[in-house]
A and B are shown apart, each in its own frame.
Chain A
């Protein structure tokens, strides 16, 4: 087992944990955290491929990870404010009880 496959396996496990959380938890905030974990798993893959890839001097893996972190931060901010706005309407963050799009 090469060092890189260790990182890739860890990233696959992290992705599965995030996916399981996003699918099974019923709280909207935890579903958002699960999506963040999946994005983090992808970032770990980028860094691992940069480290063990053939052309590390091009810095593409690092750049992609940096941009992905910024997009994930924007996504978290907008997602959490949407959850707050929905909570103000329906007084719940339980996804099973959010069954109406009417305000």
Chain B
């Protein structure tokens, strides 16, 4: 339990909690970016460099920007009028609290027996590349197919309808 872990965990929780609770949606996306960056720093701290930089590239560079564009294109940046009843919010928060209690209890009672093992494992990028080309080549191809389908599908869905029917 080092000080860096505590700091990064605090910024992650602050950023994500602010992203889920602020009124202005643009502020929500900015807070989300903070949470995702500190999550990437946590991956780096765990020794998974490749995943950390992928997280920055994909989430901070693409998903957050995409969400910001969607918010600006749908005019939901204006503070919304609260329509839902408050009992709805209370029950949602209660469900999340119960889920956290169950997960926390499982972690608390389950991992005590697991001793901390040896030195920090290494995951150099060339080993990840070799593994992707040998052991994980089929999932890699399927992911490529999925990303192509998602690219084409997202383009068609967002296309103007008058142009689509022509």
Q: Interface majority SS on A: helix, strand, loop or mixed?
A: helix
In the complex, A20→B19 CA distance in Å? 11
Interface residues of B in 120-142 (CB under 8 A from A): 120-121, 123, 127-128, 131-132, 136, 139
Whether the pair B111, A24 counts as a contact (CB closer than 8 A) is: no
Task: Count residues of A near B (Cβ-Cβ below 8 Å).
Answer: 72
Q: Output the least CB separation between B33 and chain A (Å).
A: 11
Task: Count residues of B near A (Cβ-Cβ below 8 Å).
Answer: 83
Using Cβ atoms and an 8 Å threshold, which residues of chain A touch B100? 12-13, 15-16
In the complex, A66→B153 CA distance in Å? 22
Q: Output the least CB separation between B14 and chain A (Å).
A: 10
Q: Interface majority SS on B: helix, strand, loop or mixed?
A: helix
Whether the pair B150, A77 counts as a contact (CB closer than 8 A) is: yes
Contact among A5, A36, A62 for B48, CB-based, below 8 A: A62
Using Cβ atoms and an 8 Å threshold, which residues of chain A touch B73? 84, 87
Q: Give the A-binding residues of B (Cβ under 8 A).
A: 1, 5, 9, 12-13, 16-17, 19-21, 25, 28-29, 32, 35-36, 39, 42-43, 46-48, 50-51, 54-55, 58-59, 62-63, 66-67, 69-71, 73-74, 76, 80, 82-84, 88-89, 91-93, 95-97, 99-100, 103-104, 107-108, 111-112, 114-117, 120-121, 123, 127-128, 131-132, 136, 139, 143, 146-147, 149-151, 153-155, 157-158, 161
> Can you name 19 extra interface pairs (CB under 8 A) apart from A20-B92, A59-B127, A63-B131?
A5-B112, A17-B17, A20-B20, A21-B21, A23-B95, A24-B92, A24-B93, A26-B84, A29-B74, A51-B46, A51-B47, A51-B121, A66-B51, A69-B59, A70-B143, A77-B66, A81-B157, A85-B157, A96-B83
